[in-house]
């Protein structure tokens, strides 16, 4: 009996020492700084899994969609810098639309406002996202695409099926 207690105490002491050592080396701080978006992403994915396993009601798809989109968004800003939120903030609204669309797609007795609300919120967020992205370097990409499209049309690629000449 004493041997088991000594082993348990010894194991506890070793684990406590490892936790203190890892904490002093900054392992827990690193994990917290870099992987905190998983605290949103994993519950969102879990809610989807629970719904498709028929363990939660259809309304659980609203928070599932919101948490999943937020988790992906915050993972992106965590990797490439929080400054991206200056341009990607409309995705916060898009997450609500994704959740409502998921709910509306599977609920048989959905309220009448679900699809219109999801479409309005989604459209507003996409328009706002387009405006914020057009203020960044993507305007140059759009300009180059327009130039290439015009050159392609001028070069005759747009005349398929029209016969010869202009």
Residue 81 CA to residue 74 CA, distance in Å, equals: 10
Mean pLDDT of the residues in the chain: 86
Residue 111 is predicted with a pLDDT of: 83
Residue 24 has pLDDT above 70, yes or no: yes
> Which of the two residues, 67 and 16, has the higher pLDDT score?
67
Residue 147 CA to residue 160 CA, distance in Å, equals: 20
Q: In this predicted model, what pLDDT tens digit does every residue of 64-102 receive, in sequence order?
A: 999 999 999 999 999 888 888 888 999 999 999 999 999
Residue 70 is predicted with a pLDDT of: 96
Residue 8 has pLDDT above 60, yes or no: yes
What are the tokens at 6? 């000594």
For helices 61-80 and 38-52, the axis angle rounded to 10 degrees is 150
Residue 73 CA to residue 107 CA, distance in Å, equals: 27
Q: In this predicted model, what pLDDT tens digit does every residue of 43-60 receive, in sequence order?
A: 999 999 999 999 999 899
Residue 2 has pLDDT above 80, yes or no: no
């Amino acid at each position: 009996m004493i041997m088991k207690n000594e082993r348990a105490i010894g194991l506890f002491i070793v684990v406590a020492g490892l936790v203190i050592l890892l904490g002093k080396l900054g392992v827990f701080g690193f994990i917290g700084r870099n992987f905190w978006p998983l605290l949103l992403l994993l519950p969102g994915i879990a809610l989807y899994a629970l719904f498709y396993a028929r363990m939660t009601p259809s309304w659980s798809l609203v928070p599932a969609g919101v948490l999943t989109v937020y988790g992906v968004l915050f993972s992106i800003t965590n990797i490439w810098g929080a400054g991206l939120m200056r341009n990607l903030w409309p995705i916060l609204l898009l997450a609500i639309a994704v959740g409502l669309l998921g709910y509306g797609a599977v609920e048989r007795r959905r309220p009448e406002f679900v699809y219109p609300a999801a479409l309005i919120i989604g459209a507003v967020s996409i328009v706002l996202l387009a405006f914020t992205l057009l203020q960044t370097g993507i305007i140059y990409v759009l300009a180059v695409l327009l130039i290439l499209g015009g050159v392609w049309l001028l070069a005759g690629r747009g005349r398929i099926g029209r016969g010869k000449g202009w």
